[in-house]
Amino acid sequence: MAVFDRYGIVLAGGTGSRLFPLTRGVNKHLLQIYDKPMIYYALSVLMLAKIRRICIVCRREDQTSYKNLLGSGYRFGITITYIIQSEASGIADGIALCRHVVGNSSLAVVLGDNLFVGSGLTPLLARAQKRVVGATIFAYEVKHASDFGVVSLDVTGTPVAIEEKPENPSSNLAITGLYFFDNKAFEVIDRLKPSLRGELEVTDLVANYMVQNALNVEILGRGFAWLDTGTTQSLIRASGFIESIEVNQGLKIACLEEIALNHGWIDNLVLASSPDFNIKNSYGDYLRSLV
């Protein structure tokens, strides 16, 4: 298997109930985070990892909206396949639905409502991308670890425990919504049992790799920001955070066309054919500045 023989999976289903009534008429991953739809930020992580074949897992009623926004992925230099998830049965279930598309390839999974920002992110993604065997998760130090899935490490940095929202966490390292797996993930998912809430839990999948001594942990330290935008408050904070960076630096975060151009996946002609290239706003101005 080649180093970059990997599919990306964006999990963008669910009802977004924590954001009601905002999400009664639109999927939360299409909501605005400053000047871009939320799903752009998840897609940008996979593209920064140089992953060009991507599955978007979504509800049937949202598929048309995603296709209207992203199409086939051509203008971003990627190929997008849309996978329907009929009911919310857990992250691992969403991964399993992509099996027929992924085939024998390895995979990288990102939750559609997670934002990852940091100048050192690309090297971490490249390191995870090169691991053909096993799994890699990304951990982030948080104040209230009991709200998250948590990973504990020993003195050598080896993961020794995985806990889902523990009352008394043994670590303050939250497991973020970004995972790299080899193809054995599908076999593991086949053996998983639904949790008490009736879902196939990704923490059980990750724990299986840990037991097999095949789990790697990349820690997102100072200089990184990880944002879960699943609530109204976090959605507002994320927009303010992105605005602050983009206004101060004059650079855009998660501009998919720019990432594709930098990778050589598209050229100036493809960029200029983008429906957003000639719009009269800051995003269109930025795209034109890239040519």
Which range, of 85-89, 179-183, 219-223, averages the lowest pLDDT?
Answer: 85-89
In this structure, what token pair is assigned to residue 235? 């959605």
- The pTM is what? 0.95
* pLDDT confidence tier of residue 87, bands split at 50, 70 and 90: confident
Residue 196 confidence (pLDDT) above 90: no
pLDDT score, position 230: 82
pLDDT score, position 18: 81
Calpha distance 265→95 (Å, rounded): 26
Mean pLDDT score, 55-82: 97
Q: State the residue for tokens 């919504």.
A: 177
Which domains are seen in the chain, by residue range? Answer: 6-140+176-254 (3.90.550.10)
Calpha distance 68→66 (Å, rounded): 5
Residue 229 confidence (pLDDT) above 90: no
Is the distance from CB of 104 to CB of 183 less than 8 angstroms? yes
Letter string b/e over residues 20-56, b meaning 16 or more CB atoms within 10 A of that residue's CB: eeebeeebbbbbebbbbbbbbbbbbbbbbbbbbbbbb
pLDDT score, position 161: 95
- Which of the two residues, 285 and 87, has the higher pLDDT score? 285
pLDDT score, position 2: 42
Average pLDDT, the chain: 93
Sign for the CA dihedral angle at 98, 102, 106, 109 comes to negative
User: CA 32, 248, 113: angle at the middle one, nearest 5?
Assistant: 25
Mean pLDDT score, 50-68: 96
Q: What percent of the chain has pLDDT over 70?
A: 99
Is the distance from CB of 169 to CB of 163 less than 8 angstroms? yes
In this structure, what token pair is assigned to residue 105? 């390839």
Residue 89 confidence (pLDDT) above 50: yes
- Which of the two residues, 89 and 237, has the higher pLDDT score? 237
Is the distance from CB of 124 to CB of 218 less than 8 angstroms? yes
Using DSSP, how many helices (H) and how many strands (E) does the chain show? 11, 13
Residue 197 confidence (pLDDT) above 90: no
User: What would the pLDDT profile of 147-167 be if each residue is shown by its tens digit?
Assistant: 999 999 999 999 999 998 888
Residue 127 confidence (pLDDT) above 70: yes
pLDDT score, position 3: 44
pLDDT score, position 1: 37
pLDDT score, position 54: 98
Residue 4 confidence (pLDDT) above 60: no
pLDDT score, position 21: 86
- Which of the two residues, 259 and 86, has the higher pLDDT score? 259
Is the distance from CB of 114 to CB of 238 less than 8 angstroms? no
